[in-house]
């Protein structure tokens, strides 16, 4: 039986990846950071909270990573842990550097010290392209990060490549473009919108405050994207891949899709609030997933419309439940 260790298992991707690997017959371990309240709601949503083994640890604590690797004896290690919200990275740049950047070398060191034959996946990001240098970003597009998060991820990206080249570790980076789902954190724009649409439709909210709605993103479904992570670790040689849909849409048009799904007009509810502007913005992202398609036979299968509808449906269900519970 193959054994996997996922850091960030309580996050959106961690939960979907855990479910995916369980379905493939893996024994799944997850590194779980200590928090004062429970963080397992996503694992519960997918019905797998009792099927994964959670090990307490933190990517900033090398000893806990060594312990987690010894306990799990993982053949595959997926590093998804991060301070992943771009907005917060300006308020907590040092924590972001320590978790999202240095956390990666901690885990690579732990692998080097315990079992260098373990395969490693690093959650790199399209945010590294930042101020884009090519209209369609591919593996050969130069990076130009625009946030402390993007800068920290760039360190994680290059240190992963460096450990592959220095120590022959099977270490791959997935340069994933934005991917969303009903399990997306509420602070990210798609989920903020779909949650608001559900609340407005059900009479609990009147307005939706947003920042730069002219920003464009290449949005896919997280459920599709975790398969690409796994496929990278099944290749004979480690490599880096862009994972994207190849289509880009403005935040404005994404709002339109969400509001129209419940027969509302976004223009009547969206209020532009400079509070949500960023000190430096990534105006547009558009990925070229040709390499993943050719080498991994991977392709995004969920359209933005299907994705947003799935998210609105899930939020309508949640809000209705909330109303019923409150009476
Ligand atoms: P997410 O929902 O924010 O999940 C982040 C996970 O990291 C959570 O489980 C969190 O634990 C954990 N974590 C945070 N600090 C930690 C620490 N110090 N030690 C151990 N664990 C820690 O993010 P996601 O959307 O699933 O993304 C997964 C990864 O892919 C992240 O690295 C993200 O930066 C990267 N990525 C995401 C996207 C995207 O569009 N979703 C695109 C490209 C790359 P708690 O639950 O306790 O907070
Ligand atoms: N969060 C948020 N809230 N974003 C807003 C808002 C708002 O009220 N209004 C406009 N936006 C714009 C942001 O300025 C940005 O241009 C875009 O919506 C997307 O923002 P997020 O959903 O927060 O995602 P992100 O692109 O900054 O980062 C996500 O994708 C990266 C991959 O490109 C995160 O998941 C990162 O972890 C990931 O690496």
* Boundaries of every domain in the chain: 3-179+221-243, 185-217+247-285+303-326
Q: What angle do CA 57, 60, 64 make, to 5 degrees?
A: 35
Beta-sheet strands, E only, within 202-265: 208-210, 216-217, 220-221, 240-243, 249-250
Q: Which fold has domain 3-179+221-243?
A: Rossmann fold (3.40.50)
Quick one: pLDDT at residue 326?
87
185-217+247-285+303-326: CATH number = 3.90.25.10
Tokens of 325: 């519970």
3-state secondary structure of 105: helix
Closest C-alpha to ligand 2, atom 39? 125
Mutational test site, ligand 1, from 43, 58, 82, 304, max ligand atoms within 8 Å of CB: 82
Residue with CA at minimum distance from ligand 2 atom 29: 178
Ligand 2 contact via 192 beta carbon (within 6 Å): yes
Point out the ligand nearest to the CA of residue 150.
2
Q: Which of 124, 129, 188, 308 to mutate to test the pocket of ligand 2 (most atoms within 8 A of CB)?
A: 188
With pLDDT > 90 as the criterion, what percentage of the chain qualifies?
99
Count other C-beta atoms under 10 Å from residue 39's C-beta.
15
Pocket, ligand 1, Cβ cutoff 6 A: 7-8, 10-14, 31, 33, 35, 39, 58-60, 80-84, 99, 123, 125, 176, 178-179, 185
Task: Name which of 84, 86, 82 is nearest 280 in CA terms.
Answer: 86
Q: What is the pLDDT of residues 268-317, one digit of tens each?
A: 999 999 999 999 999 999 999 999 999 999 999 999 999 999 999 999 99
Tell me: the pLDDT tens digits for 133-161?
999 999 999 999 999 999 999 999 999 99
**Model pLDDT, residue 324:** 96
Q: What value does the mean pLDDT take over residues 37-45?
A: 97
Q: What is the pTM of this model?
A: 0.98
- Which pLDDT tens digit goes with each residue over 216-244? 999 999 999 999 999 999 999 999 999 99
pLDDT in tens, 73-129: 999 999 999 999 999 999 999 999 999 999 999 999 999 999 999 999 999 999 999
**Residue 327 scores a pLDDT above 90:** no
First to last CA, the chain: 48
CB 153 within 8 A of CB 125: yes
Of 39, 36, 106, 94, the closest CA to residue 68 belongs to 106
Q: DSSP strand E in the chain: where?
A: 3-7, 27-32, 53-56, 76-79, 119-125, 171-176, 179-180, 208-210, 216-217, 220-221, 240-243, 249-250, 270-272
Does the fold of domain 185-217+247-285+303-326 match that of domain 3-179+221-243? no
The Cα 244–Cα 152 span in angstroms is 21
């Amino acid at each position: 039986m193959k054994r996997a260790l996922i850091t960030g298992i309580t996050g959106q991707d961690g939960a979907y990846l855990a479910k995916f690997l369980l379905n493939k017959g893996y024994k799944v371990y997850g590194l779980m950071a200590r928090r004062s309240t429970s963080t397992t709601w996503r694992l519960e949503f997918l019905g797998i909270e009792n099927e994964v083994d959670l090990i307490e640890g933190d990517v900033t604590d090398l000893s806990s990573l060594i312990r987690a690797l010894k306990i799990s004896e993982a053949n595959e290690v997926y590093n998804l842990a991060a301070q992943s919200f771009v907005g917060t990275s300006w308020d907590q740049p040092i924590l972001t550097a320590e978790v999202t950047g240095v956390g990666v070398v901690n885990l690579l060191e732990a692998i080097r010290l315990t079992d260098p034959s373990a395969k490693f996946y690093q959650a790199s990001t399209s945010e590294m392209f930042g101020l884009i240098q090519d209209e369609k970003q591919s593996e050969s597009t130069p990076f130009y990060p625009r946030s402390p998060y993007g800068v920290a991820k760039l360190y994680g990206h290059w240190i992963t490549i460096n450990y592959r080249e220095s120590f022959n570790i099977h270490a791959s980076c997935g340069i994933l473009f934005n991917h969303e789902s009903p399990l997306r954190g509420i602070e990210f724009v798609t989920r903020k919108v779909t949650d608001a649409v559900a609340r407005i439709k059900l009479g609990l909210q009147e307005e939706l405050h947003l920042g730069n709605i002219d920003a464009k993103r290449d949005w896919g479904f997280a459920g599709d994207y975790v398969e690409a992570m796994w496929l990278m670790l099944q290749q004979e040689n480690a490599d880096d891949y862009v994972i994207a849909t190849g289509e880009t849409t403005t935040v404005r048009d994404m709002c339109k899709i969400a509001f129209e799904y419940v027969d509302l007009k976004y223009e009547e509810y969206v209020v532009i609030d400079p509070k949500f502007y960023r000190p430096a913005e990534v105006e547009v992202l558009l990925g070229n997933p040709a390499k993943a398609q050719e080498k991994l036979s991977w392709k995004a299968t969920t359209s933005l419309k299907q994705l947003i509808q799935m998210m609105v449906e899930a939020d309508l269900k949640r809000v209705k439940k909330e109303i019923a519970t409150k009476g």
